[in-house]
Amino acid sequence: MNKLLTSTVFLAVMLNSVTAVAVYGQCGGIGYSGSTVCDSGSTCTYSNAYYSQCLPGTATVGTTTTTSAGNTPTTTSTSSGTSATSLNSGLTKHGKKFWGSAADQGTINISQNQALLKSQFGGYTPEWDVANEIFNEDGSLRSSVWSNVFGGSSFVNVAFTAARAADPNAKLYINDYNLDSNNAKVQGMVNLVKSINSGTKLIDGIGTQMHLSAGGAGGVQAALTALASAGTDVAITELDIASASASDYTTVVKACLNTAACVSITSWGVADVNSWRASSNPLLWDNNYQPKAAYNAVISALA
């Protein structure tokens, strides 16, 4: 993997239309006369004057949790596809399996879920967020269907073991937000990863989302250094920064470059108009898809 792979991730745009284009299908370009509306969970994304493509957003997040008649619960993704596309390096995909904030009842048949996702997305997704947003701010585990049923953190070990069996060649990540300084949540993450990897190494990387406020990049270097102490890769997985100052973006990029374990930065969207934080203008392109000063600063930092 390159030292730094800058990629873009599109939030799902929920559209319903009988003429919707399937994920990865063409949705625009010179000479194209078909629908410009994409299936739910994907966004029509400009590639060049002749081709726009439906690319997925948070499509593999397990947001539906059900319990079968035999009390064997399952969780399934809500749409097809995965979650990242690279700017210049072809297609890179990073999917999510268990989202801590996306299920709050029932129990989970983890092995069945892993096998289902492998059958749907295996070969397309070299990286998985096996566990996502499972920590409280004080570094303890959030109460969830999985922690309640399995007891404590044991579900994390079970999930990563099942994921490794289902997709042995994929990089397996644990991902969370507010890992932006060397805080209690960061320490809780590091301690859990070290504990799980103390035997067989199951977790390949830690993802820090980094949805930052304006001027909030000052603690990033300390956060990345602390996360790297877990002995895994570290990835910035969902970067956006309110007001998108060139200084803040440069600070984040340089922090990653200065951290040997930091393997990638992913922007949580392309243009402000499609951002989940659109009112704060947090991305590298403006509402008209024109690059901002922050974009040029990132390019300079990477040069």
Residues annotated as part of the active site: 238
* Amino acid symbol at 291: P
Three-class SS of residue 30? coil
CA distances from 240 to 83, 96, 108, 208, 244 (A): 16, 19, 32, 12, 7
Query: 48 pairs with which residues across the strands?
Result: 51
Distance CA 23, CA 29 (A): 16
For 249-287, give one letter per residue: b (16+ CB within 10 A) or e. Answer: bbbbbebbeebebbbbbbbbbbbbebbebeebbbbbbee
Strands 205-208 and 233-241: parallel
Strands 127-132 and 205-208: unpaired
Nearest C-alpha neighbor of 3 from the set 238, 235, 226, 300: 235
